[in-house]
Every structure is written in C-alpha cells, then in structure tokens.
A and B are shown apart, each in its own frame.
Chain A
C-alpha cells in the first residue's frame, strides 16, 4: 500500500542544561494512505516529538540531527520555512489535546474558522462562513449557524473538542494529526469523539495519526500502531497484531499493565519495574534491556536488529522468533467477600448523612432584600456514605459530579451546607479549624496532581516530615522519620534531597503517599490517585496502596473517573452524577450487573484495549448538564435512553435493592 508519509531514521536532540538529550533516535515508520495510525507510548517515549517534527514546530532547543520525513514525495526537513508553512493547516493539520488552550479565547468560532481559510482569496466572507457552518454541522454541533458567533468559553468541553476537529478538517487536509485528542475529556465524551473521528475519517478518506498513551483509544480507533519507548520505535504492525500477538516485550508488558484488560481481581497489578533510561547517554544495547523480563547478555551490548514479521509489522528485539513464552498470569485473588462481611459487624469509621453542599451564586444581600433564599448551585446533593475501617470505597463520576467537593468537605476544606459528617461516630462537619486540626492526624488526603500538590521550593525530606511539624510532634527525629517514610513507600533515600520538579510522576506520587501516611491516619482520601501516571507506574502505586492498607488497616475513599482502576482496588463503589449518588454497592456486583442506566453506560463505555471488542453501542448522547440547570426530575433524564414521563417530574429517591445496594432510579434496568 502506498505511504502518504514516510519517516526514515529521524533523530532529534534537545539541548538542556543537563546536556544533549537524545529524544529521538533513528525513528522510522510509514503512514499508509487513508488509514488511521496510532502512535502509542508512555511519557518520555518521544511520541509528541515525532508529531511536532512532522509539523516542523519543535521547541527552539530541539535540533533535528538526521533522517528524513517524506510527505508527498518531498522531504519536509529540507523545505524552507515558508514552504512548510504552506503545508501547515492546508495539507497537514492538528487536533490538539486541550481545546481550551489551543483555541483563541477572544475570537468567535466564525472568526477563527474564517481565519483558517485566509489563503482562499477566491472565497467571499459569506462563503467562508458557510463552509465553517457546514463543517461544524458535520462534527455534530447542533445549530451551527448560531454557534458560529459563540466563543470557546461558551462551549462545553466535548463541544470544544468537536470544534477543534472541525477547524483541523476545514481546509481538507491529507494528513490529520491528533495529539491525545480525548485526554482532557470525560469517559462518555471520549467515546463520542472516537466515533466522530472514525466516521469523519471514513468520509473524508484522510490519513490520520493519533498520538496517545491510552491503549483503549488506540485499539478502538486505529488500523495500524507504532509503539515507541524512550525515543525509539520498538514495534509496528496492524492493530490486531499488536494487541493480540505483540512481539516486543515492552508492548506485551504495556498491554498487561492496562487495568481495562484485567477482568479478574488480581492480588497484584502487573507493572514494568524500573525507570526510563537517561536519554543524555542512552545505553549501547537494547533501550528496554534494563526493564525487560527476558534480557539476554546480548541485549546489553548490541542494538537489536529490526525484524520484519509475516504481516509487514516490525519489531526491534533480539528474541524474535515468537519463542517468547507467555508470562504466567498473576495469581488471582478470591472474590472480595472479606471486607464486606467484616464491615457489617464493625462501627463505621466515616459516615456522611444526607450531605448537601451549596455554593451561592449571588450575594446574600440581594436575596434578603427580595425576601428569598439566595440562588446557588448544589455541588453535592443528599450524599449518604459509610466507610468501615480497612475498607476501600470508590467514588466514581465525571467532571462536575461533585466527587472532589465531597472529598474536600469531609476534610473540612469546603463548608457543608446541611447534613452530617461523622468520623468515628462524632459529628465533625463545619468545625472551626482549631477544633478540626487534631482530627487531621487521623485523616489525610492525596491530591490529584502528583507534582502540583507538592510545595515547589521544599525538598522531599521537608515535605514528608511537615505533618509532624504542623502537629508539633517533637519526640521523633525528623531525619530518621523521613527515611522511615521513604522506605515505607519504596522511595529511594537519595531522592529525599530533591525538589518536586526533579521527580517523575510516580516518584512524586510516592512522596504524596508518604506525606499522607506520616501521622499514621486511619482514613486516606485519594483524589484520582493514578491521574498523570503512566500505565506501567499506575500498577506500582495501586499495589503500594494495597500493601499499606493491609499493613496499617487504612480505610480509603478513592475519588476517580477511571472505572478500570477503581475496579481493582475498591470493595464498594458509589457512582455520582451531578452531585447525587445514583448507584452504590459492592464493586464486583456493580461491574457484573448495573441497575442504573448511567452506571451501565459508564461500565460499557470504557474503551477496551482489544480491537475485536469495540464498544457495541455509541455511549451516551449529549453532555453532563450544567449544575446551574439541574433538571427538575431525575438528574440523568436528559441523557437517559429509557426516560419516561415520571422521570421528568420527580427526583427518584434512594432505595435499597438487595443487600448493600442502593440506587436512585424510577425504572432500574432489570
């Protein structure tokens, strides 16, 4: 098949203060015309560098030191800047990761899209507008003529990404590059965007390259896959080849690590031990040798040859003939009945009763003058939860579901409007800080952003011992304590002298865990504990959390949007939608059978890292409504596939269905 784009031996260096970082080394692959290619890799793999090399928009400290990028029979690297600019936006265009930062905030979509067509002098302004409206319609934006006059902030996240795709396709490019196109979106939005990209590709016959770390997205969307690791291509092939019969150990390990592939609840999640090699002086042999389970002496001294498979795929590995023995799957843990059975007998550690959190959206004065309650939005509505010692409760929801607010309210960082928070049987909601402070020794929080939640000018040592200082614990030696905590979270001791920006995501997360556990709390609230981490590191952190739970009898309240992750660590799950819990129950049961249509669409909406198990249905239509426009009836009514008249009228009450299971739905799924 003809290649639209051919990259040969592309090498790129970055000049940094630490020296020359060899970010790409001899990267070669081709993009077949009219197909979707996925470039998959973890952070530091160089996948984005490849993309920006194609566009010719590398950072100023990057230098292409060799190779060629052939596009329509011309080498992009030898073209003048002016000639490359002619191609950008016309023949090659990009869909960015975060539409909020890649779209001009002060220009309407109509204006931005007309600007993209600036080379088309023959088109009148009216025609440009027409073309823009047509394209917006194509990407599924209702009422495009009206929407053209709106600004990015008036669009919701999913709409914005649709508009981003419309902008990229407006000029009819031959090659469309998508950089993590769904990473900034919720699960239900992600499904919609994947389908949109597939449909549009089929219609326009453009060649698409998708850069992503998300294996599910790659499996669902792509025809061919390039796997990158530490600046090298380790394997290429058709999507089925890669996902069903991967030949490179890294590809195998990456697939094994994806929680969505693991259906049974294993004792330990698989991981890829070790770290990325230092790219200022990459190893002489195979780049993956240090972390590979099959390393031979040869691997450390010689670069592996590129071996062409029968299907045309390539792999760079010394062990090539397919003789690699399948790895023994991790021991499977028996169904999690222990904690649940135990829970019934023990007093709960944490309990919330009909918790409501309302943020006012107008001043008290105005409302008082008019003699009514001030307007506001309900971030959390009637949430009742219990958490027993040693138990893990997963709170799952999309953005705007109020899950983070709930976690913060429990820790008294957000004030509670009505309802109760009981910790060890005592009411603790809305206590003044000086009364709440002693309680903080027993409850700790891990925040979403692993690096961002660490004070940037403090060393790791100072950070993890800070809780001791805050609570005035003087009898323990801080240095010894720092070492104890570092050992506990398996953080190498030399890292204690580092600053947060010198840590990788996984290391920073370990520091966060160590700080949370410094005072041996009984409850840990973890907000997206795996956010910002690579797949191979996610498992490490979750295993660590499980070990510490077993050792110290911790109770976890885990807040996340990531269903596959929560499945492996939670005893029970609560699903939140627009601030309300719609379904609650034991994790395994919820995954086996969903009563609430929203839960069902979430569970079935997880992208499967298996090209043959593409999502059967298109996921949910529409988007999460704004909290300001909460429906009068059921919150989910606008998106529910089986809404009936009653659902528009009345909020479904919470009711028990079987043991340990509570739902809020008028017409639960059978």
Chain B
C-alpha cells in the first residue's frame, strides 16, 4: 500500500515544487527585486561583520588627518576628530540592524496580536483599540521622542520603544482589516461548526492568511525605522557619542558641513541604499506572494 501511494505523492510534491520554482523565476527575472536583495544582503553582512571588515577602530582618533576627503587611506574620509568615516558607517550599521530587527519584529508581533484581538474580540474592545491606534498615529513621532527623552535621557532603548510604539498601529490595522474579512468567510464558520475555539481559529486559520501582507509591510517598514533612528539620533535623542550610528554621523557631518561636505554625503549614502534595497525587495516579494499580481505575467 505504501509503495502504491508513495509514487503519486512524489508527483504531487514535484508539482508543488514546480509551482514554487515558477514563483522563484518571477522573482529572479525582476531586476528591481534582485537589486533589492543584493543591497539587503550587503546591509546585513556589513553590519554583522563590521569589526572584521572595518579598516580602522571606529573610535580611534587621528587629529592631524581630520576632515579629510575620500582617499585610499580613508575611503569615505574622516570626521573632525580624524575618525575613519567608513569604519564608523559600518559600525553604525550594527545599530541600524539592531533597531530594524528588534523594533520591526517586536512591533509586528504585538501589532498582529492586537489586530486579531480587535477583529475577533468584543466590539467595545475593538473600538477602544482603534481609538488608541489612531491617537498614536496622529501623534508626531519626533515630538513624542522629544517628550520622552526629557524624562529618561537619550538612549538606544528609548529609540527602540518609540519605534515599536509608533509602528504597532499600522500592523494592527492591516491585521484587523484582513482578519475582519476572513471572520465573515465560510471556512471560519465551518471551523466553528466543528467546535474549534477562537484561539485555534486565530492561530491555525487566520494567522497564516494575514501574515503574508504583513511581512511585506515589515520589509517596507525597515527603511522607515532605520531613518527614524537616524532622525532621532541626529536630534540627539538616540544613540549618544562616541557610539557610531548613521544618525549621529549625519549630525556630526552637519556640524562641519562648512568645512567639508563629504561626511554628510558619505553618512547619507547607506541610508539611501538601505531604503532602496528594502523597498525593492518588498515590492518583489509582493509580486510573487500576491496571486493577483501573478496573473498577468
């Protein structure tokens, strides 16, 4: 019996695999998505291996060589204390990666949970959550940052908290809308008729169906979060000197822009590239994950 049934099963598996291959082909032939993927990989690799690849200690000062332009010695020039900008960018990438990874995944997880709760919970809870989401969204992020920093003092943790608080509503709203649509479908009713608990329905049947768009949203959110950190650090609310982050680099470059514009240009570059990378990657992912986008190809 097992011999007889194993053969067709293999065939089915290979069919499913070929469908996946076709999706992969769509992705691989999309030059934007590939460029995005390459940039994102570079971002991750350079942040993780920053200590190995950075040519100098990011905090080593070399006063005589201060405010130098790009040269073979200092590929991205130096700052007003003679620190190597490339090394500082690479190390700053670690801060950006930490914020992006932890901030985005935390807000995704919390947003997902709250969104499903809003969709499937009592209607009053839904209204309350919506009110909270809208209040948070309508509050300017920078003002929120300024207000909290006056209470706690600047720190990386604070940036993280602000990132999470301000990004939760968008994940929760997307989840809620998708879950509300699913709540009215026949298959959810069918599950209830089988006796499935709400928790089981949420975990087994709603979650797999809403998580796809959320991952795309998360990929698009990474550059937002990274530039938010840069923005807050630029204003002196986030990472404190001498730790390198893309925001503090921009800030320092801004202070010396009259003497040398290289620092601002060089510190802005990774921000631009990361943004492009994640945006293109997210759009590519959307094209292969969203069946409606597939049809015309």
By the criterion CB–CB under 8 Å, are B209 and A437 in contact? no
By the criterion CB–CB under 8 Å, are A447 and B186 in contact? yes
By the criterion CB–CB under 8 Å, are A59 and B208 in contact? no
By the criterion CB–CB under 8 Å, are B8 and A494 in contact? yes
The residues in B between 159 and 188 inclusive whose CB is less than 8 angstroms from any CB of A are 185-187
In angstroms, how far is the closest chain B Cβ from the Cβ of A410? 10
> At the interface, yes or no: B290 with Cβ under 8 Å from chain A?
no
Residues of chain B within 8 A (CB-CB) of A515 are 190, 194
In angstroms, how far is the closest chain A Cβ from the Cβ of B4? 9
Give the docked Cα–Cα distance between A59 and B19 (Å): 21
> At the interface, yes or no: A481 with Cβ under 8 Å from chain B?
no
Q: Identify which of A18, A441, A471, A494 contacts B5 (C-beta below 8 A).
A: A494
Give the docked Cα–Cα distance between A515 and B190 (Å): 10
Residue of B nearest to A437 (CB): B195
Binding stretch for chain A, among B10-18, B41-49, B268-276: B10-18
Q: Identify which of A61, A447, A470 contacts B200 (C-beta below 8 A).
A: A470
Give the docked Cα–Cα distance between A441 and B193 (Å): 10
Residues of chain A within 8 A (CB-CB) of B185 are 452
Given contacts A447-B189, A458-B204, contact A494 B12 (CB under 8 A): yes
Residues of chain A within 8 A (CB-CB) of B297 are 15, 61
> At the interface, yes or no: A467 with Cβ under 8 Å from chain B?
yes
In angstroms, how far is the closest chain B Cβ from the Cβ of A432? 13
Given contacts A60-B295, A444-B194, A470-B195, contact A456 B209 (CB under 8 A): yes
> At the interface, yes or no: A497 with Cβ under 8 Å from chain B?
yes
The residues in B between 7 and 52 inclusive whose CB is less than 8 angstroms from any CB of A are 8-9, 11-13, 16, 19, 22-23
Main secondary structure of the interface of B (DSSP, over half): helix
By the criterion CB–CB under 8 Å, are B189 and A440 in contact? no
Q: Identify which of B12, B22, B193, B205 contacts A458 (C-beta below 8 A).
A: B205
By the criterion CB–CB under 8 Å, are B189 and A494 in contact? no
Give the docked Cα–Cα distance between A455 and B13 (Å): 20
Give the docked Cα–Cα distance between A54 and B104 (Å): 51
How many residues in A have their beta carbons less than 8 Å from beta carbons of B?
Answer: 39
The residues in B between 255 and 297 inclusive whose CB is less than 8 angstroms from any CB of A are 294-297
> At the interface, yes or no: B196 with Cβ under 8 Å from chain A?
yes
Residues of chain A within 8 A (CB-CB) of B190 are 445, 447, 453-455, 512, 515
- Report, as a range, how many residues of chain B touch the other chain: 20 to 34
Give the docked Cα–Cα distance between A449 and B191 (Å): 14
Give the docked Cα–Cα distance between A411 and B191 (Å): 12
The residues in B between 182 and 223 inclusive whose CB is less than 8 angstroms from any CB of A are 185-187, 189-197, 200, 204-205, 208-209
> At the interface, yes or no: A17 with Cβ under 8 Å from chain B?
yes
Give the docked Cα–Cα distance between A436 and B208 (Å): 28
Residues of chain B within 8 A (CB-CB) of A483 are 5
In angstroms, how far is the closest chain B Cβ from the Cβ of A506? 17
Residue of B nearest to A434 (CB): B197
In angstroms, how far is the closest chain B Cβ from the Cβ of A416? 16
Residues of chain A within 8 A (CB-CB) of B19 are 17-18
Given contacts A61-B295, A466-B194, A470-B194, contact A494 B186 (CB under 8 A): no
In angstroms, how far is the closest chain A Cβ from the Cβ of B104? 23
By the criterion CB–CB under 8 Å, are B186 and A448 in contact? yes
By the criterion CB–CB under 8 Å, are B11 and A494 in contact? yes
By the criterion CB–CB under 8 Å, are A457 and B193 in contact? no
Residues of chain B within 8 A (CB-CB) of A445 are 190, 193
Per-residue contact bits, chain A 354-398, to B (CB 8 Å; 1 contact, 0 not): 000000000000000000000000000000000000000000000
By the criterion CB–CB under 8 Å, are A497 and B9 in contact? yes
In angstroms, how far is the closest chain B Cβ from the Cβ of A440? 4
A-B contact count (CB 8 A): 88
The residues in A between 404 and 463 inclusive whose CB is less than 8 angstroms from any CB of B are 408, 411, 413, 433, 436-437, 440-441, 444-445, 447-449, 452-458
Residues of chain B within 8 A (CB-CB) of A512 are 190
> At the interface, yes or no: A493 with Cβ under 8 Å from chain B?
yes
> At the interface, yes or no: A125 with Cβ under 8 Å from chain B?
no
> At the interface, yes or no: A244 with Cβ under 8 Å from chain B?
no
Residues of chain A within 8 A (CB-CB) of B189 are 408, 413, 447, 453
By the criterion CB–CB under 8 Å, are A470 and B295 in contact? no
By the criterion CB–CB under 8 Å, are B294 and A455 in contact? no
Residues of chain A within 8 A (CB-CB) of B187 are 447, 452-456
By the criterion CB–CB under 8 Å, are A17 and B294 in contact? yes
Residue of A nearest to B26 (CB): A17
Per-residue contact bits, chain B 142-158, to A (CB 8 Å; 1 contact, 0 not): 00000000000000000
> At the interface, yes or no: A498 with Cβ under 8 Å from chain B?
yes
Q: Which of A15, A470, A494 has the largest number of chain B CB atoms within 10 A?
A: A494
Give the docked Cα–Cα distance between A515 and B189 (Å): 14
Residue of B nearest to A446 (CB): B190
Residues of chain B within 8 A (CB-CB) of A498 are 12
Q: Identify which of B9, B193, B208 contacts A440 (C-beta below 8 A).
A: B193
By the criterion CB–CB under 8 Å, are B186 and A453 in contact? yes
Per-residue contact bits, chain A 49-61, to B (CB 8 Å; 1 contact, 0 not): 0000000000111
By the criterion CB–CB under 8 Å, are A494 and B9 in contact? yes
In angstroms, how far is the closest chain A Cβ from the Cβ of B30? 15
Give the docked Cα–Cα distance between A492 and B5 (Å): 10
Residue of B nearest to A512 (CB): B190
Residues of chain A within 8 A (CB-CB) of B5 are 483, 493-494
In angstroms, how far is the closest chain A Cβ from the Cβ of B122? 15
Give the docked Cα–Cα distance between A408 and B22 (Å): 42
In angstroms, how far is the closest chain B Cβ from the Cβ of A271? 23
Residue of B nearest to A519 (CB): B194
Q: Identify which of B11, B16, B23, B191 contacts A455 (C-beta below 8 A).
A: B191
Q: Identify which of B193, B200, B295 contacts A444 (C-beta below 8 A).
A: B193
By the criterion CB–CB under 8 Å, are B296 and A61 in contact? yes
Residues of chain B within 8 A (CB-CB) of A448 are 186
Residues of chain B within 8 A (CB-CB) of A61 are 295-297
Give the docked Cα–Cα distance between A444 and B189 (Å): 12
Residue of A nearest to B8 (CB): A494
Residue of A nearest to B200 (CB): A470
Residue of B nearest to A407 (CB): B193
By the criterion CB–CB under 8 Å, are B195 and A455 in contact? no
Residues of chain A within 8 A (CB-CB) of B200 are 470
By the criterion CB–CB under 8 Å, are B209 and A440 in contact? no
In angstroms, how far is the closest chain A Cβ from the Cβ of B179? 14
In angstroms, how far is the closest chain B Cβ from the Cβ of A462? 9
Given contacts A448-B186, A456-B209, A497-B9, contact A471 B296 (CB under 8 A): no
Residues of chain B within 8 A (CB-CB) of A15 are 297
Residues of chain B within 8 A (CB-CB) of A444 are 193-194
By the criterion CB–CB under 8 Å, are A470 and B209 in contact? no
Residue of B nearest to A445 (CB): B193
Give the docked Cα–Cα distance between A498 and B11 (Å): 11
Residues of chain B within 8 A (CB-CB) of A441 are 195
Give the docked Cα–Cα distance between A457 and B194 (Å): 18
By the criterion CB–CB under 8 Å, are A455 and B12 in contact? no
Residue of A nearest to B193 (CB): A445
By the criterion CB–CB under 8 Å, are A497 and B194 in contact? no
Give the docked Cα–Cα distance between A59 and B5 (Å): 38
Residues of chain B within 8 A (CB-CB) of A458 are 204-205, 208
Residues of chain B within 8 A (CB-CB) of A433 are 195, 197
- Closest A-B pairs by Cβ, 8 of them: A494-B8, A457-B208, A440-B195, A453-B186, A17-B22, A445-B193, A453-B190, A452-B186
Question: What are 15 A-B pairs at a CB distance below 8 A?
Answer: A408-B189, A411-B193, A413-B193, A437-B195, A447-B186, A447-B189, A453-B187, A454-B190, A466-B191, A467-B195, A494-B5, A494-B9, A494-B11, A497-B13, A515-B194
Given contacts A17-B23, A18-B22, A433-B197, 7 further A-B contacts (CB under 8 A): A440-B195, A452-B187, A453-B189, A455-B191, A456-B187, A467-B195, A515-B190
